[in-house]
Amino acid sequence: MSKRWLTVHEVARITGATVRALHHYDRIGLLKPASVGENGYRLYDRDNLERLQIILFLKEADVSLQEIAALLERPEAERRQALHKHRERLTERKRELERTIDAFDRYLAAGTIFGPEPPELSGVPLREQYEREAEAVYGRTEAYAEYKRREEERERLPAAERERAFSETERRMNGIFAELASFMEGRSAGSPDVQARIADWHETLKPYVDANPELLRHIAENYRNDRRFRAYFDAFGGRDGEFGRFLHEAIDIYCRSLTSGPE
């Protein structure tokens, strides 16, 4: 004769659910036992087992217990419609996870998140973090006010045009830095070739900010001292901040030439 009832421990052993979880499901009304014995033990039947297996499946699919309770009370057609929407959310999370894994792989390959192509992670993007930091540090200066005015002008341009301009600026900057890094061997920071590239760097900044000598020196200080810039510039050449120090020296010489004027 087949057994009619299953104890909580038997159900746990069959399904892999914990006894603690089964007690919790009983307390919240998600899975009430079919009967309670005279000794107070919970007793489950096959219908309970089927319901529990659905609960465990949905829980594994990252549906909350509250959502599961609501779903199990719906007609089958409505339940399937709701689960299709949940599948779409899972698919988007899968895409986000794949982006995170890709970013993590690039971090492992480069050894830094501050390289020429920073990984896109959840939260505030690095580019936006730099913007917020600049506002906190330079927000009350005339140079920053001018930067914001020019930025507002750019914001009125079509998005594709703005992104194209930014990408071109980024490409030019990376090209200048790559060439300057190649000059570290055999050329001094004040050599004509190096100073010509620093002038190109200055020209590339001008559409974005009124880069007077004082501000250029601030930027150079960041290049030398900020560990995030150090990691970025180490990707171009040198190591342990060598290129950042070279840039700082070259920019300082360039700024002195601006303030002293032609001899």
Residues 146 and 250 in one domain: yes
d(CA 57, CA 131): 45
Q: Give the count of beta carbons closer than 10 Å to the beta carbon of residue 24.
A: 14
Least confident range from 72-81, 132-141, 176-185, 192-201: namely 132-141
- Using alpha carbons only, give the angle 106, 112, 114 rounded to the nearest 5 degrees: 100
Residues 136 and 230 in one domain: yes
CATH number for 59: 1.10.1660.10
Residue 34 in any domain: the answer is yes
Residues 163 and 254 in one domain: yes
Residue 199 in any domain: the answer is yes
Residue 187 in any domain: the answer is yes
What pLDDT, on the 0 to 100 scale, is given for residue 263?
Answer: 43
Q: What range does the domain containing 179 cover? A: 126-260
Which amino acid is located at 218 in the chain? H
Contact 175, 189 (CB under 8 A): no
Q: Which residue has the tokens 């219908």?
A: 47
What pLDDT, on the 0 to 100 scale, is given for residue 148?
Answer: 79
Residues 52 and 155 in one domain: no
Task: For 137-177, write each residue's pLDDT tens digit.
Answer: 666 777 677 777 878 888 888 888 888 888 898 899 999 99
Task: For 204-216, write each residue's pLDDT tens digit.
Answer: 988 887 778 888 8
In the beta sheet, which residues pair with residue 7? 43
Which amino acid is located at 256 in the chain? R
Residues 135 and 240 in one domain: yes
Residues 48-62 have a mean pLDDT of: 90
Residues 153 and 230 in one domain: yes
Task: Using the Cα atoms of residue 88, residue 89, residue 90 and residue 93 in order, give the sign of their dihedral.
Answer: positive
Whether residue 32 has pLDDT greater than 90:
yes
At residue 125 the predicted structure's pLDDT band, cuts being 50, 70 and 90, is: low
Q: Smallest Cα–Cα separation from 117: which of 197, 174, 201?
A: 174
Residue 88 in any domain: the answer is no
Note the helical H segments in 111-226: 126-138, 142-155, 159-183, 192-205, 213-225
Residue 74 φ/ψ, nearest 5 degrees:
-90, 155
CA distances in angstroms from 61 to 54, 67, 156, 233, listed in the order given:
11, 12, 44, 44
Residues 69 and 137 in one domain: no
d(CA 183, CA 191): 9
Among 73, 89, 111, give the residue marking a domain's end: 73
Residues 67 and 130 in one domain: no
DSSP 114: S
Among 73, 96, 114, give the residue marking a domain's end: 73
Residues 63 and 180 in one domain: no
Residue 98 in any domain: the answer is no
d(CA 111, CA 101): 15
Residues 42 and 140 in one domain: no
Residues 165 and 256 in one domain: yes
> Which pair of tokens denotes residue 127?
């580019």
Residue 90 in any domain: the answer is no
Residues 90-111 have a mean pLDDT of: 78
Residue 120 in any domain: the answer is no
Number of separate domains in the chain = 2
Residues 43-61 have a mean pLDDT of: 91
Residue 84 in any domain: the answer is no
d(CA 16, CA 87): 24
Whether residue 88 has pLDDT greater than 80:
yes
Among 31, 52, 73, give the residue marking a domain's end: 73
Mean pLDDT of the chain: 83
What pLDDT, on the 0 to 100 scale, is given for residue 124?
Answer: 52
Q: What is the percent of the chain where pLDDT is above 70?
A: 85
What pLDDT, on the 0 to 100 scale, is given for residue 1?
Answer: 42
In the beta sheet, which residues pair with residue 35? 43
Whether residue 230 has pLDDT greater than 80:
no
Contact 101, 109 (CB under 8 A): no
At residue 127 the predicted structure's pLDDT band, cuts being 50, 70 and 90, is: low
